[in-house]
Structure 1
């Protein structure tokens, strides 16, 4: 054991998201030195280790057995065996299994050390060209359309660049929902198959996004990072106006609610009356 790794330590190791040469020197050293590697899919990690000539004992720790896997890892650590935790690609516990293991190991009073490296969200942001000071990493949206649109509605007024992961078979539906909820004027960056042979990065308006996906059948293949520009001041204002009107409508008739909302927000009463009718009709 060299000075890089030590006993009773869980190393959370980021692995490449596509191009194997993106692995860090420190990650390779840790993977060589640990006694046990807990992998999301032992076949995938086995191929990575074989590429770099690393022989190691592997156990499977994935979403469906993570709690039981955590107990095995704790037992190994208490027996003095350093362990590395990896997923199929990228950083464990970031839209991937691993958080339960890390929480359990720390709760057991044992040491967790991150070994940073590849991350699809950060890689995509670096190539997006959005000059905003803040971003919100959401990860995967709900798979069902209604739940997905509800989730997006909660993000509508946020002044942050929004970062999502999406599976290829859902990307067309997700793009349609993004345009429905956010409107067509925001920009979206598609980052597909990052660091791989068929990497593709494309920027367009949300109004153009569905057509871009549909233009090539290959665009419904491969993993995506979707980056959407932040809400404008006008969008944030519209959301707040609707919120005020909804509160008033819960207690008052349409006409009174519209009048008070106009006084509170400074918006035109006729426009608020029309919006109130629409909201009342949808309730």
Structure 2
């Protein structure tokens, strides 16, 4: 029996950006699948409705892969239908599944079972911010979250700055939204004035903000990033 496929379905990054974040190809796939693995069921169901789901949502099978459920997942049960020929969809809370996202574990398990994995085109804040930064897009690294400890964070920031200067590479990282302002303060204190920083905030949203300046110029800016989804890009090349 031919196995089903695992479709990696991107979800809009911002609540008011849904129509700019999916294509008719997504609609075709969404209306051919009735079983999903999701990080946030509420977000997933809202997106499916906006994307043109035709079947009643009560008919969907939803596997919760949220923060408090991951360690309890029975992968054999999760992939049972796919092993019997039915397609399965994977959705993150926002953006592309498996990129800076725990969905990568689901993808890895699919490969182990010989299930075809099909990534779909969609919004990814890391790549969109890199595109808009003006920094080196041929050599870059994404580090995820920097250390919370202030001393360890300062050390890491200086290491990234030195690596960027040495390799002419863009360094990309993120922070929990409620600590964005603290991270910016630490960058201003730790980095050289001529080093460039791009801040990409609420990408694809109606209040999207993307700006690239030297650290010296950022010191003159009054900007509040509190509780806003941001990507930080550093370039000292």
Q: TM-score, normalised by structure 2?
A: 0.83
Cα deviation, 1:37-85, whole Å, max 9, x if unaligned, reads 1111110111111113314432211244235154432222123221000
Task: Report the Cα distance in structure 2 between the residues aligned to 1:89 and 1:198, rounded to whole angstroms.
Answer: 17
Q: What's the secondary structure of 2:152's corresponding residue? A: helix
Task: Report the Cα distance in structure 2 between the residues aligned to 1:49 and 1:132, rounded to whole angstroms.
Answer: 32
**Cα drift, residue 87 of structure 1:** 0.6
CA contact (8 A) 2:9 2:96 kept: yes
Q: 181, 186, 198: which is aligned to 1:177?
A: 186
Cα 1:73–1:154 change in 2 (3 A) is farther
RMSD: 2.2
Instruction: Determine if the alignment matches structure 1 residue 13 to structure 2 residue 9.
Output: yes
Task: Report the Cα distance in structure 1 between the residues aligned to 2:149 and 2:75, rounded to whole angstroms.
Answer: 30
Task: Report the Cα distance in structure 1 between the residues aligned to 2:136 and 2:106, rounded to whole angstroms.
Answer: 36
Q: 224, 228, 232: which is aligned to 1:226?
A: 232
Cα deviation, 1:85-135, whole Å, max 9, x if unaligned, reads 001111111111201111111112222121121111111122222256322
**Cα drift, residue 173 of structure 1:** 1.8
Structure with greater proportional helix content: 1
Cα 1:71–1:145 change in 2 (3 A) is farther
Count of aligned residue pairs for this structure pair: 223
Higher Cα radius of gyration: 1
Instruction: Determine if the alignment matches structure 1 residue 61 to structure 2 residue 54.
Output: no
Task: Report the Cα distance in structure 2 between the residues aligned to 1:77 and 1:101, rounded to whole angstroms.
Answer: 13
Instruction: Determine if the alignment matches structure 1 residue 73 to structure 2 residue 78.
Output: yes
**Cα drift, residue 143 of structure 1:** 3.1
Task: Report the Cα distance in structure 2 between the residues aligned to 1:211 and 1:27, rounded to whole angstroms.
Answer: 44
Task: Report the Cα distance in structure 2 between the residues aligned to 1:211 and 1:70, rounded to whole angstroms.
Answer: 52
CA contact (8 A) 1:92 1:99 kept: yes
Q: Which runs of 5+ in 2 are unaligned?
A: none
Q: What's the secondary structure of 2:119's corresponding residue? A: strand
Cα 1:143–1:24 change in 2 (3 A) is farther
Cα 1:52–1:182 change in 2 (3 A) is same
Instruction: Determine if the alignment matches structure 1 residue 140 to structure 2 residue 140.
Output: no
Task: Report the Cα distance in structure 2 between the residues aligned to 1:153 and 1:72, rounded to whole angstroms.
Answer: 46
Q: What's the secondary structure of 2:162's corresponding residue? A: coil
Name 1:39's counterpart in structure 2. 38
Q: Which runs of 5+ in 1 are unaligned?
A: 1-5, 233-283
